[in-house]
Structure 1
Amino acid sequence: MFDNLTERLGGVLTKLRGQGRLTEDNIKETMREVRMALLEADVALPVVRAFVDQVKGKAMGEEVMKSLTPGQVLIKILNDELVKVMGEANEGLDLASQPPAVVMMAGLQGSGKTTSVAKLARWLQESQKKSVMVVSCDVYRPAAIDQLETLAKEVGADFFPSRGDQDPLYIATSALEQARKQYKDVLIVDTAGRLHVDEAMMGEIKALHAGINPVETLFVVDSMTGQDAANTAKAFGDALPLTGVVLTKTDGDARGGAALSIRQITGKPIKFLGIGEKTTALEAFHPERMASRILGMGDVLSLVEEVQRKVDHKKTEKLAKKLQKGKGFDLEDFKEQMEQMAKLGGMGALMDKLPGMGDVPDHVKNQANDKEINRLVAIINSMTPKERQFPNIIKGSRKRRIATGSGTQVQDVNKLLKQFTQMQKMMKKMKGGGMAKMMRGLKGRMGPGGGMPPSGGFPF
Structure 2
Amino acid sequence: MFDNLTERLSSTLKNISGRGRLTEDNIKETLREVRMALLEADVALPVVRDFVKRVKERAVGTEVSKSLTPGQEFIKIVQAELEAVMGDSNEALDLASQPPAVILMAGLQGAGKTTSVGKLGKLLKERHKKKVLVVSADVYRPAAIKQLETLATDIGIDFFPSTPDQKPVAIAESAIEHGKRKFYDVVIVDTAGRLHVDSEMMDEIIAVHQTANPVETLFVVDAMTGQDAANTAKAFNDALPLTGVILTKVDGDARGGAALSVRHITGKPIKFLGVGEKTDALEPFYPDRVASRILGMGDVLSLIEDLERNVDKEKAEKLAKKFKEKKGFDLEDFRGQLQQMKNMGGMMGMLDKLPGMSQLPGNVKDQVDDKIFVQMEAIINSMTVKERERPELIKGSRKKRIAAGSGTQVQDVNRLLKQFTQMQKMMKKMQKGGMKNMMRQMKGMMPGGGMFPGR
Normalised TM-score (structure 1): 0.92
| Paired AA for residue 341 in structure 2 | M
Partner Cα separation in structure 1 for residue 441 and residue 81 of structure 2: 30
The residue number in structure 1 matching 2:205 is 205
- Kept in 2, the 8 Å contact 1:442–1:453? The answer is no
> Secondary structure at the residue paired with 1:272?
strand
Tell me by how many angstroms 1:112 deviates.
0.7
> What SS class does the counterpart of residue 43 from structure 2 fall into?
coil
Q: Which deviates more, 58-67 or 414-423? A: 58-67
Q: Tell me which residue corresponds to 2:329.
A: 329
Whether the aligned pair in 1 keeps the contact of 2:134 and 2:190 (CA below 8 Å) is yes
Amino acid aligned to 2:57 = G
Aligned counterparts of 1:408 and 1:271: Cα–Cα separation in 2: 42
Does the Cα contact within 8 Å between 2:194 and 2:202 map onto a contact in 1?
no
Q: 2: CA distance between counterparts of 1:311 and 1:117?
A: 25
Contact 2:169–2:208 (CA<8 Å) still a contact in 1?
Answer: yes
**CA-CA distance at 1:407 after TM superposition:** 3.1
Give the aligned residue type for 2:350: L
Write out aligned runs for 1:22-61 (5 A).
Answer: 24-61=24-61
Secondary structure of residue in 2 paired with 1:159: strand
1:104 partner letter? L
Verify the 8 A CA contact 2:23 2:59 in the aligned structure 1.
Answer: no
SS of 2:260 mapped into structure 1: helix
Give the equivalent residue in structure 2 for 1:96.
Answer: 96
Change (3 A) 1:407 1:141: closer
Which residue pairs with 1:283 in the alignment?
A: 283
1:318 aligns with: 318
1:126 matched to which residue of 2?
A: 126
The residue correspondences of 1:166-181 to structure 2 (distance < 5 A) are 166-181=166-181
Tell me the CA shift for residue 15 of structure 1: 2.3
C-alpha separation between the residues in 2 aligned to 1:327 and 1:401? 28
Letter in 2 for 1:185: D
2:230, 2:266 within 8 Å by CA — same for their partners in 1?
yes
Per the TM alignment, residue 19 of structure 1 is displaced from its structure 2 partner at its CA by: 6.3
* 2:343 corresponds to: 343
Task: Please list the CA deviations of residues 267-319 of structure 1 after superposition, one character each: whole Å capped at 9, or x if unmatched.
Answer: 00000001111211101000000000001111111111111112221111111
Shift of 1:135: 0.8
Question: C-alpha deviations, 1:94-129, integer Å up to 9, x for none?
Answer: 001111001111111111111111110000001111
Find the aligned partners of 1:334 and 1:286 in 2 and give their Cα distance.
Answer: 33
Letter in 1 for 2:10: G
> In the superposition, relative to structure 1, how do residues 65 and 79 fare at CA in structure 2: closer, same or farther (>3 Å)?
same
Matched residue of 1:133: which SS? strand
- Which residue does 1:384 correspond to in 2? 384
Give the conservation status (yes or no) of the 8 Å contact 2:368–2:447.
Answer: no
Contact 2:108 2:221 in 1 (8 A): yes
Decide which moves more: 278-287 or 190-199.
Answer: 190-199
What is the rounded CA distance, in whole Å, between the counterparts of 1:332 and 1:181 in structure 2? Answer: 48
Corresponding position of 2:73: 73
How far apart, in 1, do the equivalents of 2:427 and 2:267 lie?
50
Alpha-carbon separation, structure 1, partners of 2:416 and 2:155: 35
Distance 1:366 1:344 in 2: 19
- Answer yes or no: is the 8 Å Cα contact 1:225–1:258 preserved in 2: yes
Structure 2: gaps (5+ residues): none
- Asked whether the equivalents of residues 2 and 256 of structure 2 are also in contact (C-alpha less than 8 Å), the reply is yes
2:148 & 2:68 partners in 1: Cα distance? 57
The farther-off stretch of 232-241 and 395-404 is: 395-404
Partner of residue 137, structure 1:
137
DSSP 3-state at the match of 2:268: coil
Distance 2:347 2:196 in 1: 37
- Structure 1 residue runs of 4+, over 4 Å off? 18-23, 65-68, 442-446, 450-457
> Where does residue 441 of structure 1 map in the other structure?
439
- 2:7 is paired with a residue whose SS is helix
Q: Are the structure 2 counterparts of residues 439 and 264 from structure 1 closer, same or farther at C-alpha, using a change threshold of 3 Å?
A: farther
Given the alignment of the two structures, is residue 428 of structure 1 paired with residue 433 of structure 2, yes or no? no
Q: Is the 8 A contact 1:87 1:287 kept in 2?
A: yes
Output the CA distance in 1 between the equivalents of 2:84 and 2:447. 33
Higher alpha-carbon deviation: 398-407 or 151-160: 398-407
Any idea what SS the aligned residue of 2:103 has? strand
Rounded to whole Å, the distance in 2 between the matches of 1:335 and 1:288 is 35
CA-to-partner distance for each residue in 1:22-43, whole Å, 9 max, x for gaps? 5533311111111111000000
Q: CA deviation at 1:391?
A: 2.0
After superposition, what is the alpha-carbon deviation per residue over 1:24-78, rounded to whole angstroms, capped at 9, x for unaligned? 3331111111111100000000000000111111121232498751111111111
Q: Per the alignment, do residues 107 and 228 of structure 1 end up closer, same or farther by CA in structure 2, a change over 3 Å counting? A: same
With 357-366 and 179-188 compared, the bigger mean Cα shift is at 357-366
Given that 1:23 and 1:65 are in contact with CA atoms closer than 8 Å, whether structure 2 keeps it comes out as no
Distance across 1 between alignment mates of 2:163 and 2:172: 12
Which AA in structure 1 matches 2:370? D
The alpha-carbon deviation at position 196 of structure 1 amounts to: 5.1
CA distance in 2, matches of 1:439, 1:311: 26
The amino acid across from 1:25 in the alignment is D
Does 2:272 correspond to 1:265?
A: no
Cα RMSD (Å) of the superposition? 2.4
Q: CA deviation at 1:140?
A: 1.5
SS of alignment partner, residue 247 of structure 2: strand
Q: Match for residue 190 of structure 1? A: 190
- Tell me how far 1:20 sits from its aligned partner: 5.2
For 2:281 and 2:420, the matched residues in 1 are separated by 29
Structure 1 residue runs without a partner (length 5+): none
User: Aligned residue for 1:231?
Assistant: 231
Residues 443 and 31 (structure 1), Cα distance of their counterparts in 2 relative to 1, 3 Å cut: farther
Following the alignment from structure 1 to structure 2, what is the Cα–Cα distance between the partners of residues 443 and 297?
25
1:139 to 1:397, Cα distance in 2 relative to 1, 3 A: closer
Please tell me the residue identity of whatever aligns with 2:190: D
Contact kept in structure 2, 1:430 and 1:438, CA below 8 Å: no
Tell whether the 8 Å contact from 1:263 to 1:270 is kept in structure 2 after alignment.
Answer: yes
